[in-house]
Amino acid sequence: MSEVPDADGDLAQSVHVGRQPIWSAERRLVGYELLFRGGTGVSGSFATSQVIVNAFTEFGLAEIAGDRLCFINMTREFLTDELPLPFGPGQAVLEVLETITVDEELIAGVRRRVDQGYAIALDDFVLGSGHERLMGLADYVKMDVLNTGADELREIAEACRAYPQITLLAEKVETEEHLALAEELGCGLLQGYLLGRPQVLSAQALSPSKFSRIQLMTALLKQDVEIAEIVSLVTQDPALSFRLLRASNSVATGVTNRVSSVHEAVMMLGIGQVRQWVALMALSDVFESTEGPVDAALSRARMCQLVAAELDQPMDAAFTVGLLDRVADLIDVPSDELAGQLPLSREVSAALADQAGGLGTVLRTVRAYESGDLDSIRASGIDPGRLTTTFLAAAGWSTNAIDALYARE
């Protein structure tokens, strides 16, 4: 995470990480190159290094790329052990940028990284730059087919043949001619706009602490969750336990007897109400107690639940679909990506990924109402006028729930 002074001198925090797909010669997605953006005002090698450290603290390789390779631009400090790498060697490929001076210290550092199990890529490789001294340690050599002449590229490819462990990667593949040249050169990997443009990910989306709350929320919203599992999950989080007890003892819950344990709260309120309370609290934590995003997520979730009743679909599952779909919107992550990281039922996953199935129809209907798409609403068989009543009911429920959550004792 980069900390950048704003106009008033306060620290504004932001993390932006791009990922560009890398394909095999057979057009199979094998990895991503990660592209770091630290915001304006951050300069210098050490500042860039700090951006990398904090970005991986927030994201994590598994969340960014699944089990695929991650090609990661490295500063000199990371390659020479001046700064520790914030991730293990399993799927990381460390890129030695063409701007880094290759000297004995760097060669020794790269060798240590190789001994630790990290793969090495030589970025924008040019013969005569000094980077050929690293070819015996490299697993990948990246060639810029856009800005390098064909004859020079052929010389590089020929030099790499003396190192059987090296895989050639053609980058900046933007035309069919580039693609043909990469094939001629024997490139096993391909990267460029012709095959896929970078996608920007938000740190807020994948912050481990926030994502863990979404995972907890999802576990508690499972249709087959049992009381013992709810109690176990909630009691693992002291702050959440306290807030649930406070909520269960509040006037808004309608409970007159005070409770003294999470188990008592669950038994008194019932699984359905506790699940929704915990979802509300988890959302509050994800969005740092900001009421606007929480209200938006709860309103959509509740509306999906009410529409599900109209369409004879499971109401609890519809609540989950609506909730996670809106969370995905708010944290700027595609719904299918979010669904892929959570333990969801096949029906819920299908609804989030493709708006498929009965739950997908529920979600499409609610989204259509929010965007004013009357034709799509009518296609669901629900009168648009009746949906207005449903929307108002959902908004009222969300407001009451939030008022109870943020109420002071």
Instruction: Write out the DSSP string of 159-210.
Output: HHTT-TT-EEEEE---SHHHHHHHHHHT-SEE-STTT---EEEEHHHH-HHH
Q: Is the pLDDT of residue 13 over 70?
A: no
Q: Whose CA is closest to 187, among 174, 178, 198? A: 178
Q: What value does the mean pLDDT take over residues 149-156?
A: 95
Same domain, 217 and 334: yes
Same domain, 44 and 183: yes
Question: What is the rounded average pLDDT of the residues 175-204?
Answer: 85
Reported as a single tens digit per residue, the pLDDT across 334-391 is: 888 777 777 678 888 899 988 899 999 999 988 888 888 877 777 777 777 778 888 8
Of 202, 224, 254, the one marking the end of a domain is 202
Residue where a domain terminates, one of 202, 222, 246: 202
If one counts the domains in the chain, the total is 2
Residue 30 shares a structural domain with residue 137? yes
181 and 305 both lie in a single domain: no
* Same domain as 226, residue 375: yes
Lowest mean pLDDT of 132-136, 287-291, 382-386, 393-397, name the range.
287-291
Q: What average pLDDT does the segment 171-179 reach?
A: 93
Between residues 397 and 247, which one has the greater pLDDT?
Answer: 397
pLDDT on residue 255: 46
* % of the chain at pLDDT higher than 70: 65
pLDDT-derived band at 2, boundaries 50, 70, 90:
very low
Query: Domain check: are 43 and 171 in the same one?
Result: yes
| Banded model confidence at residue 44, pLDDT cuts 50, 70, 90 | very low
pLDDT for the residue numbered 391: 83
- Residue 318 sits in a domain whose CATH number is 1.10.3210.10
Q: Return d(Cα 60, Cα 248) in angstroms, integer.
A: 36
Parent domain of 246 = 207-406
CA 214, CA 324: separation in Å to the nearest integer?
9
Specify which of 167-171, 312-316, 355-359, 362-366 reaches the highest per-range mean pLDDT. Answer: 167-171
* Banded model confidence at residue 93, pLDDT cuts 50, 70, 90: very high
Amino acid of residue 361: T
Instruction: Give 204-263 as a DSSP string.
Output: HHH-HHHHHHHHHHHHHH-TT--HHHHHHHHHT-HHHHHHHHHHHTSGGGT--S---SHH
Task: Identify any residues that bridge with 19 across adjacent strands, giving them in sequence order.
Answer: 34, 199
Tokens 């909630």 correspond to: 234
The segment with the largest mean pLDDT, out of 92-101, 216-225, 318-327, 395-404, is: 92-101
| pLDDT above 80 for 155 | yes
Q: Work out the average pLDDT over 107-129.
A: 94
Q: Average per-residue pLDDT in the chain? A: 76
Calculate mean pLDDT across residues 281-292.
62
Per-residue pLDDT, averaged over 261-280, amounts to 69
- The whole-number pLDDT of residue 405 equals 56
Q: Examine the pLDDT at 142 and tell me if it is beyond 60.
A: yes
Q: What is the pTM of this model?
A: 0.49
271 and 360 within one domain: yes
- Find, among 360, 364, 392, 390, the residue nearest to 378 by Cα: 364
- pLDDT for 325 equals 87
pLDDT surpassing 90 at residue 212: no
Q: Are residues 172 and 213 in the same domain?
A: no
Q: Do 213 and 149 belong together in one domain?
A: no
Is the pLDDT at 41 greater than 80? The verdict is no
Q: State whether 197 and 238 are in the same domain.
A: no
Mean pLDDT of the region 15-33? 84
- Of 202, 228, 244, which residue sits at a domain end? 202
- Examine the domain organization and report whether 238 and 164 are in the same domain: no
Phi, psi of 171 (to 5 degrees): -110, 160
pLDDT of residue 125: 92
- Identify the CATH number of the domain in which residue 102 sits: 3.20.20.450
**Same domain membership, residue 280 and residue 261:** yes
